[in-house]
Amino acid sequence: MTSYTTPLRDLLFVYSELLNPAVIQALPGYEEVTPELVESILAEAGKFCEEQLFPLNRSGDEEGCRFEQGRVFTPEGFKAAYAAFTEAGWTTLQGHPEYGGQGLPKYINIMLEEIISSANFSFGLYPGLTGGACSAINGYASEELKRRFLPKMVAGEWSGAMCLTEPQCGTDLGLLRTKAEPQQDGSYLLSGSKMFITAGEHDLTENIIHLVLARTPGAPKGIKGISLFLVPKISVRDDGKLAAPNGVSCGSIEQKMGIHASSTCVINFDAAQGYLLGELNQGMEAMFVMMNNERLAVGIQGLGIGEVAYQSAVAYARERLQGRSLSGTKHPDKPADPILVHPDVRRMLLTMRAYGEGNRALVGWVARELDRSLRHPDPRSRRDAADCVALMTPIVKAFITDCGFELANLGMQVFGGHGYIRENGMEQYVRDARIAQIYEGTNGIQALDLIGRKLPVHTGRYLRHFFHPVKAYLEEKENDAGLLVFVLPLAKAFGRLQQATAWLAQKGMENPEEMGAAATEYLRLFALVALGYLWLRMADLGIRNQDGDEAVFYRAKVDTARFYFERILPQTGALFASIMSGSSTMMQFNDEAF
């Protein structure tokens, strides 16, 4: 009973109208990336995902992955779908042309990731991890390693996985125990065990390239002694041909609450040959390239889940007949009115819509800045764009995955009892969405990253790339009578964010626990203001385009913006009050009373 159609019009609205496509087209190498080309790519991507991936979503959840004698088998249909996915070239979109990629903007691949996440969350994890691994290899591997590994990975013939977590260390990677012994030929032999490794073992590709954090003999303690290694499941000769198995094995797969079609593995390394990426003892720097890539990707997973939950809930609300409208019968020819007429159902659907479309705009903004950070010819512009991406990454990861879970829950609530029944498909989205709030750094960790690292760095330089454009746009529109209903509440919310930021900066120097106690609420306050800024811009576009052929589309933008400003943005007042109350209610509570 779930349904999904690629939101092509809205993806293009953000790319081509809210965000100026000329900004990306002006970047070196992207001159031919016209809006028309982007539209054709997304249309084909949507068709593929709707026809080949979406039908496998529920069956993949029901069957799950199988672990037999050290091997992992994905659900029926996944291997064929992956072969079709690679044959169509979807793994090559953002790959470097030198290694067989199309060299297209990251933003296009990010839109593809949203579509895949809506159609089949679990499937998307396999190519998604590979793309992140390629980014780290491209940034830190030697030219010889790039030539040996990247062509097959870009083509999707080989996949990638990220091996960080061990039983005794998750967030605190300084506690890891995996060892890397240097060899005469410059390689290393790795021994140890990693857990919670997404796509660590499967049957979709002939080889899996693991990026592994490990410690060499005599390395400094903590994270300063961690190095990053490329470790193939099957050894690869200098000519790129496969050789013998490489001492990498899967010990088990986890039995999870959701994403059953994604293999989550215990991976053991037994004197497995690996190759150093980047500098010795500088592994976290290299791994953060992949981690930050994956944190953005996880936020997009939340966006994708929210979209398919919304579409499914709307379809159900149009068809489900229950009761009569409070203001009088709307469909006298039917035994009851569709539940779409009821205020509370409309509240849930509009909440889903307002968050979903706002989050898509936020992702688009960050994606554009990501491309600018990598391609802009001016070093200062690259730095400014990178600052923006760094600031917004924890917000995208945490807030949008929180929304993904919230929207999936709301969608299930719209379905009522039928949403709780497995065969109708909605409860799967709730289970699948929940992991996104946990992996790649829990959302609490993202909040600490925002408030403890991103805010104070370079005396608040990162903040300027959000505060300045918001302030400038509010000043530009403060005398626009048609927008005052949006400008005034956003100005108040923005003022709360500025005041909370200044207060926390002062209190944090006196007592770091003040920042820790406020972190989660501060991140949400920041995100709600960010969405308010983007909804103001979307409302402005909607008002200016209400008389054309797409009047219904643009009027819906204005009406959804009004709902956001009247029903969601007021949360900032409560969040501000909670932040300003301080840490004492938490930290002075008696430990023995817990």
Distance CA 514, CA 38 (A): 46
Extended strands (E) in 74-220: 158-163, 179-182, 188-198, 207-215
Output b/e per residue, 263-284; b: 16+ Cβ within 10 A: bbbbbbbeebbbbbbbeebbbb
- Retrieve residue 463's tokens: 């903040």
Q: At what angle do helices 143-154 and 121-140 cross, to 10 degrees?
A: 160
Please tell me the pTM assigned to this model.
0.97
Please say whether the dihedral angle defined by the alpha carbons of residues 334, 335, 339 and 341, taken in this order, is positive or negative: positive
- Please name every residue paired with 338 in a beta bridge, in sequence order, or none if there are none: 321
- Under 8 Å CB-to-CB from 206, ≥6 apart: which residues? 157, 158, 234, 242
Q: Are 375 and 27 in contact (CB under 8 A)?
A: yes
| The pLDDT value given to residue 172 | 81
Helix (H, G, I), strand (E, B), or coil: what is residue 378? coil
Output b/e per residue, 195-216; b: 16+ Cβ within 10 A: bbbbbbbbebbebbbbbbbbbb
Radius of gyration of the chain (CA): 24
Distance CA 79, CA 453 (A): 41
Active site residue 440: yes
Distance CA 509, CA 211 (A): 37
Q: Of 6, 12, 5, nearest to 553 (Cα)? A: 12
Q: Are 178 and 213 in contact (CB under 8 A)?
A: yes
- Under 8 Å CB-to-CB from 574, ≥6 apart: which residues? none
Catalytic residue selected from 440, 475, 476, 478: 440
DSSP 128-142: HHHHHHHHHHHHHS-
- Retrieve residue 191's tokens: 């021994």
- Under 8 Å CB-to-CB from 499, ≥6 apart: which residues? 576
Distance CA 435, CA 232 (A): 27
Average confidence (pLDDT) per 10 residues, the chain, 594 residues: 96 97 97 97 98 98 97 98 98 95 97 98 97 94 96 98 90 88 97 97 98 95 93 94 96 97 98 96 84 92 98 98 95 96 98 98 98 97 96 98 98 98 97 97 96 91 96 97 97 98 91 94 98 98 91 97 98 98 94 95
- Retrieve residue 330's tokens: 């709307």
H/E stretch holding 231 reads strand 226-232
Query: Which amino acid makes up residue 203?
Result: D
Helix (H, G, I), strand (E, B), or coil: what is residue 68? strand
Helix (H, G, I), strand (E, B), or coil: what is residue 452? helix
Burial class (CB in 10 A: 0-12, 13-18, 19+), 402: buried
Distance CA 291, CA 278 (A): 15
Query: Which amino acid makes up residue 111?
Result: M
Distance CA 203, CA 73 (A): 6
| The pLDDT value given to residue 547 | 85
Q: Are 140 and 289 in contact (CB under 8 A)?
A: yes
Distance CA 200, CA 202 (A): 7
Q: Are 263 and 207 in contact (CB under 8 A)?
A: no
Output b/e per residue, 570-594; b: 16+ Cβ within 10 A: eebeebbebbeebbeeeeeeeeeee
Q: Are 105 and 366 in contact (CB under 8 A)?
A: no
Main-chain dihedrals φ then ψ at residue 194, nearest 5 degrees: -120, 150
Burial class (CB in 10 A: 0-12, 13-18, 19+), 309: buried
- Please name every residue paired with 265 in a beta bridge, in sequence order, or none if there are none: 197, 253
Helices and strands (H, E) in the chain, number of each type: 19, 11
| The pLDDT value given to residue 522 | 98
Distance CA 512, CA 407 (A): 33
Please say whether the dihedral angle defined by the alpha carbons of residues 43, 45, 51 and 57, taken in this order, is positive or negative: negative
Query: Which amino acid makes up residue 191?
Result: S
Query: How long a stretch of residues is the chain?
Result: 594
Query: From residue 82, how far is each of 108, 122, 572 by CA, in Å?
Result: 20, 12, 43
Sequence-ordered alpha helix ranges (H) in 376-425: 379-415
- Retrieve residue 319's tokens: 């068809």
Q: Are 117 and 435 in contact (CB under 8 A)?
A: no
Distance CA 543, CA 18 (A): 13
